[in-house]
Structure 1
Amino acid sequence: MSDYESLWHWSVEHLEEFWAEVWQFFDIAPGSSYSAVLAEPTMPGAVWFPGARLNYVDQILRQAAGREHEPALVSLGEDGTRTQLTWGELVAQIGAVSAAMTRMGVRAGDRVVGYLPNVPAAVVAFLATAAIGAVWSACGPELRPGGAAARFAQLEPVLLIAADGYVFGGRLHDRREVVSELAAALPTLRHVVTVPVTGLPSSGTRWTDLLTGNETVRPTPVPFDHPLWIVYSSGTTGLPKGLVHGHGGVLITALAQSGLQGDVRPGDRGMSYTSTSWIMWNGTVNGLLSGATAVLYDGNPMYPSVDRLWQMAAEQRLSGLGVSPGYLLACEKAEVHPATEHDLSALRGIGVTGSPVPARSYRWIVEEFGPSLPLRAFSGGTEFSAALVGGAPWLPVYEREMSCRSLGCHVEAWDEAGHAVTDEIGEMVIRSPMPSMPLRIWGDDDGHRYRETYFAHYPGVWRHGDWLTITSRGTAIIHGRSDSTLNRNGVRMGSGDIYQAVEALPEVAEALVLGVERPDGGYWMPLFVQLTDGATLDEELIGRIRSAVREHASPLHVPDDVLCAPAIPHTVTGKKLEVPIKRIIQGVPAEQACTISAVDDPEALRWFADLAARRRAG
């Protein structure tokens, strides 16, 4: 094969050969065999590597062998504190905690949930859970108890591991009462373990109680598709979707993406700014599978100064740093000069995800670092625990473009008729199965929600929910979400959480929230409210609306503007027109954004079109 594009085509046109080569190259599950690579190629319902038995944690133990005194985890705090776990210490803690969980009665298939910041205890708790074949799920403690309970209660967990609090922007957030409230909302719990992140006094079982044993970790062999973790991709209505990923699918895809696509090597040091609520946290842990040191940061990325991440990258000699497009814009506006103000000579690449990266950020990186340090934008996400489009070390980088489609990821841009298009904007689809594709949505026993969410638009083909262009040279451009999921600084959540908080106020009859990607790379998140009779949208009400979102939904998704709309338009079946109105705000004519005759109140829709026109006119 003469070039990367030829290799990519082979990898998706010969799926079984490609994934068999990956299995062999990384010597996955030595001693275990499988009867077929892809026994059932349909979507949904693909069956990979039947007969194989393995455990995600086995690969961690293989990387630790002979490197017991080298760092596996490095943890950094806002105040500059630094702790580390060597590979030997990591393995010992996994053994102690998994044994403690077993004594608590946790068994394979049980759910263990974490309400934890990005600290070593979260990594150890996940790996200990996986080692015994139990299923892990987590979210950050910044999420309000109602939002956490909406995710965890579905799972009927038997064990909750929760932090006593967290620190953000120099402020300590006490979470002890919140944890008690969360535990009360989870009636299936048998045990609650407190992790002393802040050192506040607490009662009951503490994390240190689980670390007292010296048991040897012996991961339980499980089938390839045995559930590993449940991560959440919030839709616009209903409960957050709990996406179930399997041990084998995550393992083989992570090795292909880090060890091949990303050239991650044993001894590398990688850090992405993330929280445990986001799939990027899982991706950071996946770096351990390739022998890299995972550097964890718990705190504000711009505290006490905007260049905090660059400072840590220099101090820790990072080879890879993951940031959001918003962080790069903030650094540029603050006139930060990372390459001249810090020693970043160890850095081999900057990964950027969470939203489309504007051209100015590509130029800024070149201006600051020169052409030798690539900015590798990538996109994929929670559903696949993988980068579907991104980069590779040997490919050139173009402004606004991702250099390639990832190996084994059959990504195309389709028009409404289901035809692949090149150099045109289309719906991002996945034509062929992937090992890390979700096994199912938790609680969706008949698979109806799974099929309706991802396969209803193009039967048998995964519709991802992004606008995508595949260029004639094989690069990819993401233009933003084609659905209505809110995505601020890479942290996604459904609009339903916002509505639940805001519409509880007596003055608000109905609300509509949008996440609008701007041409300059910015992100505008307006909240439109239809008020009850006699109510007025004054500063006092706006303040209470913002407080409601902050306290009952997410402090990361407080709207930029609160605007009074005469009415909220719906389809004739009663669904809010989130996506069409977002497109209207972005400049699409109303008659192209939706079918006017299918709107319950066309005059309300015209109000949004007039607003968009006034905004464009300044």
Structure 2
Amino acid sequence: MNNRLLWTPAPEWVAQTHLSHYLQWLEQKSGYGIAADYQKAWEWSTTQPADFWASLVDYFDLPWTYSEVMQGEMPHTRWFEGAMLNYAEAIFQRADDRFPAILFQAEHLPVQEISWVELRGQVASLRAHLLSLGVQPGDRIVGYLPNIPQATVALLATLSLGAVWSCCSPDFGASSVLERFVQIEPKVLIAVNAYPYGGKRFDRRDDVRNLQANLPSLLNTVLIPYLEEFALDLPQSSSWPEIMQNQNAALMFTQVPFDHPIWVLYSSGTTGLPKAITHSHGGMLLEHLKYIHFHNDVQPGERFFWYTTTGWMMWNFVQAALLARATIVLYDGSPGYPDMNVLWKMAAELKLNHFGTSAAYILSCMKAGIDPASFGLNSLRSLGVTGSPLPHEGFAWVYEKVKSDLWLCSISGGTDVCTAFVGGNPLWPVYEGEIQCRTLGCAMESWDEAGQPLTDAVGEMVITQPMPCMPIKFWNDPDFSKYSASYFDTYPGVWRHGDWLQITPHQSLIILGRSDATLNRQGIRIGTSEIYRSVEKLPEIRDSLIVNIEQEDGTSVMPLFVVLAEGVVLDEALQKKIANTLRTDFSPRHVPDRVIAVPEIPYTLSGKKMELPVKKLLMGKSIETSVNKDAMRNPAALEVFKGMSLK
């Protein structure tokens, strides 16, 4: 395999990168003695992880006092015992008043600029309000918010107190949000009344009322009148504008241990309720300092943008750019309204330096015939892509239609770690269809079923050494049973991530999609159980199964198979009802591309729907290589999927 070379960093570029500076520092630093060579540094970082992570504390001048860097094996590794810190404090310690803290644009609003002074004042005001409610370290604060500056303020105010943040986007229905928030028993809800998308305005007042009524742990709901025509008055609520009028609040930071919970993110809910994945202040701070500086090379004053919603871990990742003294750029609205040019126009007008998006967006622009270069993207120097593997055609389009001298950073990681395991390397070239490198400290390998490492062959993505960004726990999982089952059920003591991986001879990586049945829809993982809970409440539907099939051209098709109730016909009206139900309960991303009636759904002996075998059959695999029929409750149910065409 010889993929086309698309970009090589110039020597002057390499010399100015954070990563070069760090490698030179390592080479010169007494006690480390690592040559200024990325591959050798990566090998050292993964064979001597304690030394590597300690070097970051030294390099970034973190004022920690600790007894031991790491102790214990995965999944019970403990890090930097004795260290006290606060993620939000680390952000404000790096505030640079020469540059804006935030630039914000929405499809219904012009660009707004928020200075560091303004950001500090707003965070202090909200912090004072939370304190007045009796919020303590460890208490949970949740948001039902779009990607607006108030969400950033809410995050930082929460973290400043040592409270725990969690957020969902308002394009998810209240039932989906409740499944997440009820698990962590929040004390405060911060919510908008409505939001714009695609030129339309979506009223969320009933959803906010529903959340408040069904979260008995709430002490207060903070209401943000984002769209003023949707007036909302609730008991036990406070007004965001009134809270912001407190100009005398002081911003202070509660010091917390390294492993103190920072936020809760949620899995897709494939096998039940979404897992409440909990990360730590120290783990996120170290990892984000590492990735943003070394693997994204964000420089002071640069403008960093990633198109995301608040419910995706990339939103949390965007905030981390503040650690590099950068300006974060937030956008709220549809990436396709009024047309597919909107984000590229913004990139040019705001002189973005780093533009992040999903592979699905790149492919959509390519199919729509968009010509981003016509807007003059002179300031743009990196383009980040994640969510799903970007095909060769997507790489080629970026260099032909966006910018020929652009650093394309295809990355992969996820909610589990709120970062990228594999991603950008400003010192190495970019090859078509490949991710540049395994990140420092990430001991990643490709393994076969017997647990043997593979070279230049497809296997399971595994991590063999602990990393501080790994979750400290799942909420309400005291014996670590759910945690262990999620990552360590295949290879004991080794993290299995659930992706197919190939490591090339020049140490780049190719990810070939999910090795499990999780749906990856437009760059967002969706749990199959969410689909089932919604669809199967309809009286016309007896049973259902859904999969997402990746195509060779980088697109995907998501068919929903349904078993109809007796006498029911799958007509156009029922198909519309299914789509509307999914859109209302969850989001437009949950709506399938096709609905197909089948006689029955295949099940295992233990009563689990057999999504992955069905997916394999639809991809042309044989039944013999796709499933063990002896482990099935109803083997004949697979026959209908053999040779089925989805075109």
TM range (shorter): over 0.9
Cross-structure match for 2:340 = 306
Alignment deviations for residues 285-336 of structure 1 (CA, whole Å, 9 cap, x no partner):
1111111111000000011011111111111111101111111111112211
Q: Quote the offset at 1:448 in angstroms.
A: 0.6
Q: Tell me the amino acid that sits aligned with residue 79 of structure 2.
A: W
Q: Residue 164 of structure 1 contacts residue 175 of structure 1 at CA under 8 Å; is this kept in 2?
A: yes
Q: Residue 508 of structure 1 contacts residue 530 of structure 1 at CA under 8 Å; is this kept in 2?
A: yes
Task: Give the secondary-structure state (helix, strand or coil) at the position aligned to 2:151.
Answer: helix
Q: Residue 69 of structure 1 contacts residue 86 of structure 1 at CA under 8 Å; is this kept in 2?
A: no
Cross-structure match for 2:563 = 530
Cross-structure match for 1:549 = 582
Cross-structure match for 2:356 = 322
Cross-structure match for 1:110 = 139
- CA distance in 2 between counterparts of 1:541 and 1:253 reads 48
Q: Which one of the candidate residues 462, 465, 470 is aligned to 2:498?
A: 465
Matches within 5 A, 1:132-151: 132-151=161-180
Cross-structure match for 1:425 = 458
- CA distance in 2 between counterparts of 1:397 and 1:3 reads 17
Q: Tell me the amino acid that sits aligned with residue 202 of structure 1.
A: L
Q: Quote the offset at 1:69 in angstroms.
A: 5.6
- CA distance in 2 between counterparts of 1:247 and 1:416 reads 35
Cross-structure match for 2:30 = none
Cross-structure match for 1:56 = 87
TM-score by length of 1: 0.97
Cross-structure match for 2:185 = 156
Q: Which one of the candidate residues 275, 280, 290 is aligned to 1:241?
A: 275
Residues 1:33 and 2:65 aligned together: yes
Q: Which one of the candidate residues 197, 210, 213 is aligned to 1:168?
A: 197
Cross-structure match for 2:106 = 77
Cross-structure match for 1:342 = 375
Residues 1:210 and 2:243 aligned together: yes
- CA distance in 1 between counterparts of 2:293 and 2:358 reads 23
Task: Give the secondary-structure state (helix, strand or coil) at the position aligned to 2:384.
Answer: strand
- CA distance in 2 between counterparts of 1:562 and 1:369 reads 36
- CA distance in 1 between counterparts of 2:142 and 2:498 reads 28
- CA distance in 1 between counterparts of 2:551 and 2:643 reads 18
Q: Quote the offset at 1:2 in angstroms.
A: 6.2
Cross-structure match for 2:524 = 491
Residues 1:201 and 2:231 aligned together: yes
Cross-structure match for 1:584 = 617
Task: Give the secondary-structure state (helix, strand or coil) at the position aligned to 1:71.
Answer: coil
Q: Tell me the amino acid that sits aligned with residue 257 of structure 1.
A: Y
More moved, 496-505 vs 581-590 = 581-590
Q: Which one of the candidate residues 409, 414, 427 is aligned to 1:381?
A: 414
Task: Give the secondary-structure state (helix, strand or coil) at the position aligned to 1:155.
Answer: coil
- CA distance in 1 between counterparts of 2:462 and 2:216 reads 39
- CA distance in 1 between counterparts of 2:391 and 2:372 reads 19
Cross-structure match for 2:19 = none
Structure 1 runs (4+) greater than 6 angstroms displaced: none
Q: Residue 69 of structure 1 contacts residue 88 of structure 1 at CA under 8 Å; is this kept in 2?
A: no
- CA distance in 1 between counterparts of 2:620 and 2:306 reads 34
Matches within 5 A, 1:363-382: 363-369=396-402, 371-382=404-415
- CA distance in 2 between counterparts of 1:165 and 1:492 reads 24
- CA distance in 1 between counterparts of 2:245 and 2:36 reads 56
Q: Tell me the amino acid that sits aligned with residue 580 of structure 2.
A: S
Q: Residue 68 of structure 1 contacts residue 89 of structure 1 at CA under 8 Å; is this kept in 2?
A: no
- CA distance in 1 between counterparts of 2:142 and 2:265 reads 11
Q: Quote the offset at 1:586 in angstroms.
A: 1.9
Task: Give the secondary-structure state (helix, strand or coil) at the position aligned to 1:477.
Answer: strand
Q: Quote the offset at 1:11 in angstroms.
A: 1.1
Q: Tell me the amino acid that sits aligned with residue 90 of structure 2.
A: Q
- CA distance in 2 between counterparts of 1:123 and 1:570 reads 44
- CA distance in 2 between counterparts of 1:443 and 1:605 reads 37
More moved, 486-495 vs 441-450 = 486-495
Q: Quote the offset at 1:610 in angstroms.
A: 2.5
Cross-structure match for 1:266 = 300
Q: Tell me the amino acid that sits aligned with residue 214 of structure 2.
A: A
Task: Give the secondary-structure state (helix, strand or coil) at the position aligned to 2:182.
Answer: helix
Residues 1:593 and 2:626 aligned together: yes
Q: Quote the offset at 1:368 in angstroms.
A: 1.9
Q: Which one of the candidate residues 446, 454, 469 is aligned to 2:487?
A: 454
Cross-structure match for 2:591 = 558
Residues 1:502 and 2:532 aligned together: no
- CA distance in 1 between counterparts of 2:226 and 2:625 reads 51
Q: Which one of the candidate residues 105, 115, 125 is aligned to 1:86?
A: 115
- CA distance in 2 between counterparts of 1:38 and 1:137 reads 27
Q: Tell me the amino acid that sits aligned with residue 304 of structure 2.
A: G
Q: Quote the offset at 1:539 in angstroms.
A: 0.8
Task: Give the secondary-structure state (helix, strand or coil) at the position aligned to 2:101.
Answer: strand
Task: Give the secondary-structure state (helix, strand or coil) at the position aligned to 1:529.
Answer: strand
Unaligned runs of at least 5 residues, structure 2: 1-34
Matches within 5 A, 1:474-489: 474-489=507-522
Residues 1:46 and 2:116 aligned together: no
Alignment deviations for residues 37-76 of structure 1 (CA, whole Å, 9 cap, x no partner):
1122x01011010000000011111112xx3363101110
Task: Give the secondary-structure state (helix, strand or coil) at the position aligned to 2:430.
Answer: coil
Residues 1:408 and 2:441 aligned together: yes
Cross-structure match for 1:284 = 318
Task: Give the secondary-structure state (helix, strand or coil) at the position aligned to 1:302.
Answer: coil
Q: Residue 171 of structure 2 contacts residue 586 of structure 2 at CA under 8 Å; is this kept in 1?
A: no
Cross-structure match for 1:513 = 546
Q: Quote the offset at 1:494 in angstroms.
A: 0.8
Q: Residue 108 of structure 1 contacts residue 132 of structure 1 at CA under 8 Å; is this kept in 2?
A: yes
Q: Quote the offset at 1:370 in angstroms.
A: 5.0
Residues 1:604 and 2:633 aligned together: no
Cross-structure match for 1:125 = 154
Task: Give the secondary-structure state (helix, strand or coil) at the position aligned to 2:642.
Answer: helix
Q: Residue 143 of structure 2 contacts residue 189 of structure 2 at CA under 8 Å; is this kept in 1?
A: yes
- CA distance in 1 between counterparts of 2:316 and 2:156 reads 11
Q: How many residues end up aligned between the 2 structures?
A: 608
Q: Residue 75 of structure 1 contacts residue 82 of structure 1 at CA under 8 Å; is this kept in 2?
A: yes
Q: Quote the offset at 1:163 in angstroms.
A: 0.6
Q: Residue 360 of structure 2 contacts residue 523 of structure 2 at CA under 8 Å; is this kept in 1?
A: no
Cross-structure match for 1:436 = 469
Q: Quote the offset at 1:596 in angstroms.
A: 2.1
TM-score by length of 2: 0.92
Cross-structure match for 1:445 = 478
Q: Residue 295 of structure 2 contacts residue 423 of structure 2 at CA under 8 Å; is this kept in 1?
A: no
Q: Residue 246 of structure 1 contacts residue 439 of structure 1 at CA under 8 Å; is this kept in 2?
A: yes
Q: Residue 403 of structure 1 contacts residue 475 of structure 1 at CA under 8 Å; is this kept in 2?
A: yes
Task: Give the secondary-structure state (helix, strand or coil) at the position aligned to 1:81.
Answer: strand
Cross-structure match for 1:540 = 573
- CA distance in 1 between counterparts of 2:616 and 2:147 reads 35
Q: Tell me the amino acid that sits aligned with residue 523 of structure 1.
A: S
Task: Give the secondary-structure state (helix, strand or coil) at the position aligned to 1:154.
Answer: coil
Residues 1:255 and 2:285 aligned together: no
Q: Quote the offset at 1:435 in angstroms.
A: 0.6
Q: Residue 69 of structure 1 contacts residue 87 of structure 1 at CA under 8 Å; is this kept in 2?
A: no
Cross-structure match for 2:16 = none
Unaligned runs of at least 5 residues, structure 1: none
- CA distance in 2 between counterparts of 1:3 and 1:479 reads 28
Q: Residue 105 of structure 2 contacts residue 111 of structure 2 at CA under 8 Å; is this kept in 1?
A: yes
More moved, 593-602 vs 108-117 = 593-602
